[in-house]
Amino acid sequence: MGYVSELRKHIGHMPIMHPCASIIVENEAGQILLQKRADNGTWCYCGGAIELFESAEDAARRELLEETGLTALELELFGVFSGEELHYTYPNGDEVSTIDIVYICRKWTGTLRCQEEEVTELRFYDIQNLPGDICLPTVMPLKKYLEYREKAALSTGKKY
């Protein structure tokens, strides 16, 4: 059982700081991988809680493998996101103030497979055509990612 689950036994649903590590996976076509959450049916990038004494990078790699079947070969730190926009209440009532350490992964290996308990669908999306039902804590980091991609396209002349 994970650290957050153990903590919840003592504090119930009250708000906690929730350090997470996540990965925005890009394919060769410049699309990003999103997963449909089993708990609320919204879309998000891969990621989850950092376990006690686990490094953020190790947590991101673990979550990617668990949720998608993919192994990250290289990670690039994209950013650390926190604040009111990452406040979230899970369907079971657990409330968190997320601190999300987000990586970009362009080199990976493996075959896509959903983690049945948490993920109902995995799909690569063009960044101009993301689904409308994005999970709230990933909205702001994805917006920053889209801005990053737009700036990269302007500076390189490459269209995404």
Residues serving a catalytic function are 121
Cβ(39)–Cβ(118) below 8 Å: yes
Residue 67, token pair as written in the block: 């949720």
Cβ(44)–Cβ(81) below 8 Å: no
State how beta strands 43-44 and 32-37 pair: antiparallel
| C-alpha distance from residue 4 to each of 41, 55, 97 (Å) | 22, 16, 13
Helix, strand and coil percent figures for the chain, each rounded to 5? 30, 40, 30
